[in-house]
Amino acid sequence: MYIPENKAETSPSDLLKTGRNILLVGKPGIGKTAVTHQMLKLWAERDNEELDYMFYFDMREKSDIKNLEDLLFGAFSEPDEGKEVLQDIKNNSDNVTLIFDGITDLSDHPSVVKRLVEKHLLSEAKIIVTLRLDDEEDFPSEDFVRVEVKGFNEQAIKTYLSATIGEEQKKVLSNLELFTLCHVPMYALMVSVCFSSETPEDSPQPCSIADIYINIVRHCLQINSQTRNRDLNSFINTKWNEMLSLAEVAFHATEGKTVNLTERPCEDSCVLSFLNPLVIKVGPTERTTTYAFLHYTIQEFFAALWLLKNPDRDQIKDVFQQCLTEEKKHMKHLIPFMCRLLNVKSPSLMKCLNPAQELKNTSNWFFEEMIDTLCETDEAGPEDSELDVDTLFLCQCLYESQCPEACMYLLDKLDYHLDLRGESLDPLPCCAVAYVVAQSTERKISLNLEDVMVSEQGMRQLFGCLKNVQ
């Protein structure tokens, strides 16, 4: 269930006690890292007389590790200090727990990590890995028990909002789109920040994921500027070169499926506030600094910004094509951000950086190109060929865009038939489907919901558009 029940099936304490290897999966921002941090806290506070070891690694910080000793002790001990401990770890690996937080593709990480995960090193150690749902099928998970992090349940959302924004929570609770966003803890934090800012009473509140990110980026630029500039759009325009440098680095890192930025993209402290510096020990007296975005989704947002700031039709089309490949399918996460960034409604980032006409020119071909590329024809033969479409993903993109014309183009392409068989619809995708269906006022839509799992909150959204369904 996407707004999970109040009963937690598995707690961090349960995960700590089990002797099994654990694959901790979930959507971006859902709380995978928070779960591992809670496990560390519980481990540190135990009253345990037996010697055991627990190591936590943020995988953004591990790029140049050569061997097990460097991995375990490189940043924390003087030369030779850890030798005796390392030998005990090797001799008693059943007393060792290793957490690798933020695995993407094992082949992109140091070989020592791959050997540990595959049990070629410390074969009896307990391994805990966190990764996105999208990366799960590429991970060798035969020896792991799978645990999915589900996020905030309904009561937890109310408790969190009450603690962070007080009476303002009523505005969130009365808006189903905002409320469903808050089941992802990271988005709940972002919603809280947006509502805690001083804004007019009747100002529009963000109701989509990209809306949230635009508000957060603008908010961060404002609070990190020395002047707290009231004309924020003009201030953003003065940061054009620095933001473009950051966005370009984000794009190339995302394309390479890495979160390690080896070069500092600019010198401006305001723009650099979106990065964490990572100091790595490369020798007894030598340190090198790399950088990583505060969260992988922030990196993807800036990557989308760079693509639109350089609206090369062939390059954007290449990204659409990459989404259809196994190697580069992760690039699809840029598309919903691009769809919203093309919309010049307030708040906007792109209209501070691009002339409105240039955005309109890009928008004129962007959505047709996206839909045509992502609607591939099966090779079954002309007499029974059919479109192989990720309908739900396209609906989410169009919901971010708030572009009725693009919705009608998709519906016409699909002959007004939306096939969602077998999908698990959390409330936000239901908002997206309902939005697309609501655009078709002249012709009824065939909506296939066979074997669909949908929550009560999501059904409320779908009920609102049924007048357009045949």
- Residue 356, pLDDT above cutoff 80: no
pLDDT at 350: 79
Q: What is the pLDDT of residues 314-345, one digit of tens each?
A: 899 999 999 999 888 899 999 999 999 998 77
- Residue 381: what pLDDT? 40
Element (H, E) at 240: helix 240-255
Rounded to whole angstroms, what are the CA distances from 41 to 167, 294, 366? 32, 22, 48
Question: Mean of the pLDDT values across residues 149-176?
Answer: 86
* Residue among 444, 433, 338, 447 at smallest CA distance from 393: 433
pLDDT of residue 137: 81
Q: Are 321 and 373 in contact (CB under 8 A)?
A: yes
The predicted structure's pLDDT at residue 7: 58
**Tens digits of per-residue pLDDT, 429-450?**
888 999 999 999 889 999 999 9
- Note the pTM of the prediction, 2 decimals: 0.72
CA 359 to CA 343: how far, in whole Å? Answer: 8
Q: How far is Cα 355 from Cα 359, in angstroms, rounded to an integer?
A: 7
- Fold classified for 12-148: Rossmann fold (3.40.50)
Candidate from 15-19, 33-37, 82-86, 391-395 with smallest mean pLDDT: 82-86
Q: What pLDDT digit, counting tens, does each position of 220-259 carry?
A: 888 777 656 567 888 888 888 898 899 999 999 999 888 8
Q: What is the pLDDT of residues 380-411, one digit of tens each?
A: 443 443 456 789 999 999 999 999 999 999 99
Name the band, by pLDDT with cuts 50, 70 and 90, for residue 2. very low
Q: Which two tokens stand for residue 226?
A: 């020395």
Distance of CA 264 to the CA centre of its chain: 23
Over residues 399-427, the mean pLDDT reads 91
C-alpha to C-alpha distance for 223 and 21, rounded to whole angstroms: 42
The share of the chain scoring above pLDDT 70, in percent, equals 89
Amino acid 379: pLDDT: 41
Q: Where are the domains of the chain?
A: 12-148, 154-238, 239-371, 378-470
* Mean pLDDT along residues 54-60: 87
The C-alpha atoms of residue 59 and residue 146 are separated, in whole angstroms, by 19
Task: Find tokens 């558009």 and name the residue.
Answer: 465
Is the pLDDT at 378 greater than 70? The verdict is: no
Pick the more confident residue, 223 or 301.
301
Task: Give the start-end residues of each E strand in 343-405.
Answer: 375-377, 387-389
Residues 199, 205: Cα–Cα separation, whole Å: 10
pLDDT score of 357 more than 60: yes
Q: Which tokens go with 368? A: 């047709």
Residue type, 317: K
Crossing angle of the two packed helices 356-374 and 334-341, in degrees rounded to 10: 140
- pLDDT of res. 204: 61
Cα–Cα distance measured from residue 377 to residue 286, given in angstroms and rounded to the nearest whole number: 55
pLDDT digits (tens, 9 = 90+) for 167-192: 888 888 887 777 877 888 888 888 88
Q: What is the DSSP letter of 133?
A: G
Confidence (pLDDT) at 70: 82
Q: Which class for 410: exposed (0-12), middle (13-18), buried (19 or more C-beta within 10 A)?
A: buried
CA distance 333 to 309: 17
Q: Does pLDDT of 62 surpass 80? A: no
68: pLDDT strictly greater than 50: yes
